[in-house]
Amino acid sequence: MSLSVRPTTIALATLGAVTTGLLAYAAYFDHKRRTDPDFRKNLKRESRRIARVAKEEAEAQGANQKRRIRQTVTEAQEEGFPTNVEEKEAYFMNEVGRGEVLCQNEKTHVEAALCFFRALKVYPQPGDLISIYDKTVPKPVLDIVAEMVAFDGSIPVGGFGGGPGSDAGGSTGAVDD
């Protein structure tokens, strides 16, 4: 007489054993967490360390992005901008179109912002264009454009960011914080 065990029985027994093991570990962990002060201290210490590392990475990434923004603005200034009216119009349309395409992908937000910045440089009324950007460009890209404008400093804008004083008729020239 041979005993045959079906595969489903083996699978269910294995699943039951794994589940029991996980539940036992969870109960042990919870018991340790509640009763052992050293274990709690180690958990808090590890949690703080992870938070500190994440904060440092975020700061480094922010500094890297600012450096990249400054570098792209400097490169754009070195390339120069068209001076002829027809060339400016074609350049503007090209850059806005490229910016709209690039802002769809999170990885190309800096490149998209650079396109919008270039278009802003050749537009005759930068304040009006910024109010249009404020309504149409995604906020992360708009924030990068704002950093580029602040770094460049040669674009005359009243209020950047769409605050109450940034419309064309009532702008006082102050940036709303």
C-alpha span between 163 and 103 (Å, rounded) = 23
Q: What does the radius of gyration of the chain's CA atoms come to, in whole angstroms?
A: 29
Percentage with pLDDT > 90 across the chain:
39
Is residue 61 within 8 Å of 68, Cβ to Cβ?
no
- The confidence score (pLDDT) of residue 160 equals 47
C-alpha span between 141 and 143 (Å, rounded) = 5
pLDDT range class, residue 12, cuts 50, 70, 90: very high
Of 151, 93, 163, the closest CA to residue 122 belongs to 93
pLDDT in tens, 24-53: 999 999 998 899 999 889 989 999 999 999
- The confidence score (pLDDT) of residue 4 equals 79
Q: Is the pTM of this model over 0.85?
A: no
Mean pLDDT in residue range 81-106: 89
Name the amino acid, one letter, at 97. Answer: G
